[in-house]
Structure 1
């Protein structure tokens, strides 16, 4: 009696699982991005709004964490579905991560636009270029700078 080992796709699945584990998608303001005048780190400015400033002059207006928390179920469902497609070979890891990155980018941008935040101080409204009372949006540069990158882990 002889034993025949037929690979019905298991090696391909293992290869694809290793590929999934080797990459990550990062969504938000990316390292090196600058304010529209090029003088300051946009990630620093975004972090002041996301967490609030030391001393509380700028209140917390979380747009990244809130978008992720509000959409966690949607993100997980998308990720699970795409993981299955990666395993069966119908989608590449890069393609799946791009899709997740684009979807989460849109969720964060929507949160910036539609979020319910602590109102701006009257002096801040007067100082804004667009004279709007909308928190997190002055020139739109920060909202437009939300993007995703795919990196090796």
Structure 2
């Protein structure tokens, strides 16, 4: 299965005092890494996260996406940050690692906010009667929230 990738342009303003070789030298390392945002944990926690993210027909559990919807909600803010950051890198005002770190923190924050707002679909009345621990929707809620993380990894 191929991975779907989309690209947007971050227009870099080139002024007469910029040397193209320096500009390319500053920007080229951007193509070597990427920021991955998701969850990290043991096999059981990964299975629980997968069931919540996509649902389970067999177990009659509806999807309550917190990673995918969090990513969608963060896209506009990340795009704005990247456009600004690339121009700062091009002018030599910022280093690439700090941009990656800021992207990861922004995406993680949006994902955590999204996680905290999950209320739909509600738990079934039958399950609510037997559920221990109140009306929280997600099983292992605290462990799942704490497992949300980001990582800067080499592309490829």
2:23 to 13, 17, 29: 13
Q: SS of the residue aligned with 1:98? A: helix
Name the structure 2 match of 1:123: 127
User: Take 1:125 and 1:17, find their aligned partners in 2: how far apart are those partners?
Assistant: 57
- Where structure 1 has 5 or more consecutive residues not aligned to the other structure, the ranges are 1-5, 35-39
Normalised to the residue count of structure 2, the TM-score between the two structures is: 0.77
> 1:56: Cα distance to partner?
5.4
> 1:7: Cα distance to partner?
8.1
Normalised to the residue count of structure 1, the TM-score between the two structures is: 0.78
2:106 to 103, 106, 129: 103
Over aligned residues, Cα RMSD in angstroms?
2.3
**Contact 1:113/1:137 (8 A) holds in 2:** no
User: Take 2:143 and 2:74, find their aligned partners in 1: how far apart are those partners?
Assistant: 23
Rg comparison, structure with higher value: 1
CA pair 44-15 structure 1, distance change in 2 beyond 3 A: farther
User: Take 1:19 and 1:83, find their aligned partners in 2: how far apart are those partners?
Assistant: 11
Instruction: Give the total of aligned pairs.
Output: 139
- Where structure 2 has 5 or more consecutive residues not aligned to the other structure, the ranges are 1-15
